[in-house]
Every structure is written in C-alpha cells, then in structure tokens.
Amino acid sequence: MAVIRREENVPQAGDVLDGRYRLDSRLGAGGFGTVWQGRDLRMNRDVAVKTGVPDNVEDARRFVREAELAGSLAHPHIVTVHDFAHIDWEERELVYLVMELVRGESLADVLRRGLPGFHDSVGWAVRICSALEAAHSAGIVHRDIKPANVIIGAADTLKVLDFGIARRQLSRTDLTGNGIIGTALYMAPERFRGAVDARSDLYSLGCLLMEMWTGRLPFLGTSWQELYAQHIGAPPPRPSAFTPSLSATADQLVLDLLSKEAVGRPPHAAAVAQRLTSLAQGAEPTVPRPSTTPQPPSYTPTVLDEGAEPVRAALRRRLGQIVALPDDSDIGEFQELLGALIPEAQRELGPDDPLTTEAVLVRARRLWLRDPTDTALARTVPKLRRVFGEQDRRTIEARALLLGHQIQSEHADRTAVTAEMREVIKVAQNVLGPFDPVTLHARAELATGLCKGLSQDRFEDVKRRRAILERLLPDLVRGLPAEDSHRRDIHLTVADDAYLMQDYETAARYYDELAALGDSKDRGWPAKTFFAHARSLGESGEFERAAAMLAQLTNTLADEGNARSYLGSEARRLESRYRRRLRRQTHQPRGWFTRG
C-alpha cells in the first residue's frame, strides 16, 4: 500500500510544477496529500492537482503505476486524469496528479443537508454503476467508494474520483491507532482480509444506497475493531425499517449488495444499474422473484428483521468469524469450530435451514479445496438444490467445482460430464451473467477438459486445442483478474500453441501480454517457454529483444550446468542469427571489422 505523507508547506500556492502546472488555491487535504485548484499554463485550462511526498521510492513507483491505470479510463462519470509525475522538490521527491477540475459539491456535502429525493439518488447510483462497470471491465477496482469520492456538479452531472489511486490508498481521515474509520464504514468484509474484486465495490455501493435512502449507514461502529466485527458477522438492517416508504424491491437490492460473501452479491455493476432503473420506473427488476409458493431466498440470509431470533443472529456471527479465517489457517481449528456450530444449528434451526446448510457448505467446500477426492461437497449438492434452489449461486458454483474436477479425470464418463457441465454453464450465464467468475471458471474447466488427450506433437491436435481455448481467452481477460490461474494457464497454452503452429507474431503478442502481467516471474517460466518467447520475437522481426533474451537464457543454462544441452545450443545459434539480422537491419559493420 502506497503511503504518501501530507506536508502542509510543500509546495505552496503560486508554485509551478514542471514549469507547467501553477498551484492557485488549496481545495483540501486527505491521506494522499494536498488538493489544489491549479492552472495548466500550456493548455490554458483550470485543473485539479494532488500533491504528496512518498515515504519511499517504492511508494513513488507504485503511485505512478496506479496513476497509469487511472489515466487509461475515459468515461463521462469518471474524473479524467490528464498527467502525473514524480519530481525532485526542495531536496525531496514529490508526486503529483493532474485531473480535470470538477466544479460542484461532494455527495457527502449533499447528504449532510438531508436526504436527496428518491429518483435523484437512484439516478446518481445508476451513473456510479456506469463508472464502476467501465473501471471493472478495465480490471480496476476502486476500493474506496464513498460519498466523499462522488462529485455532483452543475446540471446534475456526476463524477467519481480516485479510480486507480483508491485501489491502494486508504484515507487517513478519522485515523485511529488500529485502522481507518472513514473508509471502514463502507468496506466489504473481504477488504478487511485483503482479497478483493469488483464485487467489493458493489458492497460499498450498497452502503452508499443505504445512506442515501435512510440517512444512516448499515453499521455504525465507532472503532476499527467494532466495524470489522459488524461487517464480518452482523446482519444489516432493512432500509425500510428507517424509511417505511421504501419497497421490498429496494430492500432486496441493498441486502443483496450487502451479502457477507462476494458470491452472494450481484455479478457486476451493470446488473445493479438494471435493477435500479427498474426501481425508478416502478417495475420489478429482472431477477428471480418468489412464486406463490415461498421459495428459499436467493441471497445469503443475513437480514436483521425486527423479530429476528437471537440464536440465529449469534450463529450467523460465529459462522462469519469462521469464514473469515485465512485459507491457510489450521484445518483442525476450522473443523473444530464448524463441528461445534453445525450440530447446534441443526438442533436450533433445523437441518434444512439456510444458515445450517450454508455452514455445511462452508465445511464441505474447504475440505474439497484441500482434497478434491473428498466426497463431502458431492454429498452437499442435493441439499443445496433443495434448500437454495437450482439457480442459486452457491448451488451453481458447487456443481461447477465438482464437474470441473470430474471432466479432467481419465475415469469419468466424459460425454455425460460434458453434457452436465454445459447445462450448469447455461444456468450460470442466465443467472449470474456471462462474465461472472463462476461462469468463466466453469467454461475454462470445460474447455480444458475438451482438450485433454490432445497431443503437443500432432499439428491437428495443436490446431484444435488452440481453436477451443483462443475463443474463450477474450472473455477470461474481460471477466477475471490478471492473477487468476485459469486465465493465465489458458493464456499460456494459447501462446504455446501459436508458437508450435509457427504463428510467431501471434505467439509473441501472447507471451508479451503474459510477461507484462508478471507471469514469467510469478510462476517461473521453464527455459523452453522463455526460449519460445524469444524465438517468437525474433521470427517476428524484433531481433534486438530476441537476442538479448537468448543471451540471458544461455547464461542461465550455463549457471545450471546445461550450456551444452540441445536448448542451450539452439539458444546460441538463434542469438547469433538474430544479431546478424539486426546488423543488416541497422547497417552495422561486422564486429571484427570495427576499429576499437
């Protein structure tokens, strides 16, 4: 996390940064540093400038990377980033960010005056969703959606601030010794544990909707520890408990957004926008609704009704604390805690109660992730279908996990398993959306299962595998985070297959994309993959890069004692070839004719 120190006197009004950006008046200050109204002297326009002093070099570098992400977003409801840099300033390193100057007031200021009209608040929320959808599609998670980061301008325009910056910055407003109160009021449960995705922003949006519609937040802890406990384990109230005019549909939307588990929330911001638009039109949203015969709720039942049983609330809190345990925590402790909770839930609530079923699923899923041959998850699926229904996310995900493992097995009835997986994918696409992680992981498992048994040596097999996986890759890139193993595995396989088919230009592009994500370093590419990347570059005309990579590979193989291996010989041969081609390309003389 980049930490930027705020300096009250550096820089000052009237100073000019990089001979271009004049700081005119101080607008405010926050965890990042000082915010100025300024003037771009080159473009002759007013701008907003944020300045700060990084604690160390790595913080400055991280700031630049984040600013590059923010600058890549062009959207009518996202504040435009014009420029950024880190410079020397009075013997210190200073970072600054130049943005469009939005004239208006923050949503926090609006809410301090009282509740906005319902249709105004829905319209603002739809525009926030539009901004989030654009950012999430670009792989950027905001991480700090709150009223202070939303500006309402003239003619009811709306802009969301701090994309790409908030993803690593935590506001120091209301800072205590143990955390951040101002931001923690809106933080998703998983934020406290560190793992986030786009649905974490949707949880924050749920808090924001609650505040706009009721004048209060779902949780009102006054310390970091209290807020942590509430977000992790306490059920949120229904908005209509404070604003009775709100419909059950409005309640349902907020409660879905505030699901403790990310998988229980709407799949993406566009789905939230659609439901909000239906609300504004007075129509029912296109989400599963109860029939005349009551069905189990489609969301994790964490609603604090006025007459909620204290036993259920206590069990929910305990389950939330167990779920919050890190994945690498002691499995014995995990089993012991659930072993005590599940019988109690069965006794107090019944074996088919949603909370009991959820606890059984939590245990079965953790056991399956540790050992896919464990049968607990398979035994739990019929209960999930009965209690939650076929179209519940938990049912869909559990079935997809099991089928994904079976489809890779040599002993499975491949035809039957493939047909069932296609059925699950169809349900997932209809209910969760085509770019939901559950949908995409199921599609990835099906695709790799269909490729099982295809040879690396037969051209027709390589061609078929590439065709299957390459069609899927753009969707994986759009819907899954860069570090997702399904996405990276398929990306690398497609690159390898393009190389084997001697489609070097395409292979080089795919390898470059993976290298830019850090895949070669994160997972330690084998020498043959590094060689394939270098050769693909060389055969595509990038002789200098290819020769440099091959020289590096040769040195690595020599250090490992493999200099005389076939790969080492090929690396030296191709390096020599590409250096000759580079000389011809740049009209350089041969080395032994060059005078010293």
What are the residue numbers of the active site?
A: 144
Distance CA 252, CA 292 (A): 18
CA gap 351, 344 in Å, rounded: 10
Give, in degrees to the nearest 5, the angle at Cα 370 between 365 and 371.
95
Q: Cβ of 157: how many Cβ atoms within 10 Å?
A: 14
The closest alpha carbon to 14, from 6, 24, 5, belongs to 24
The CA–CA distances, whole Å, from 23 to 52, 60, 85, 128, 442 equal 13, 21, 15, 29, 52
Could you tell me the two tokens for 275? 């439901």
Distance of CA 43 to the CA centre of its chain: 35
Tokens of 414: 């491949």
- Chain centre to alpha carbon of residue 248: 30
Look at the alpha carbons of 498, 504, 507, 511 in this order and tell me if their dihedral is positive or negative.
positive
Cα–Cα distance, 584 to 590 (Å, whole number): 9
Amino acid of residue 260 = K
Q: How many CA atoms lie within 13 A of 124 on its CB side?
A: 30
- Tokens linked to 272: 């939230």
- The 3 state secondary structure assigned to 365-380 is HHHHHHCCCCCHHHHH
Backbone angles phi, psi at 105, to 5 degrees: -135, 155
72 phi, psi to nearest 5 deg: -80, -10
Tell me which H or E stretch contains 347.
Answer: helix 331-349
Dihedrals phi, psi of 352, to nearest 5 degrees:
-105, 15
Are 99 and 79 a contacting pair, CB within 8 Å?
Answer: yes
**Can you spell out the DSSP letters for 461-509?**
HHHHHHHHHHHHHHHHHHHS-TT-HHHHHHHHHHHHHHHHTT-HHHHHH
Rounded CA separation 467/462 (Å): 9
DSSP string, 289-319: ---SS----SS----B-TT--HHHHHHHHHH
Please answer whether residues 571 and 549 qualify as being in contact, where contact means their C-beta atoms are separated by less than 8 angstroms.
Answer: no
What's the rounded Cα separation, in Å, for the pair 326 and 472?
31
How does DSSP classify residue 238?
A: P
Residues forming a β-bridge with 88 = 93
Tell me how far apart the alpha carbons of residues 358 and 394 are, in angstroms, rounded to a whole number. Answer: 9
Q: Which amino acid is at 556?
A: T
φ/ψ region of 235 (left if φ > 0, alpha if ψ in -120 to 50, else beta) reads: beta
Burial readout 92-110 (b: 16 or more C-beta within 10 A, e: otherwise): eebbbbbbebbebebbeeb
What angle separates helix 354-370 from helix 331-349, to the nearest 10 degrees?
A: 160
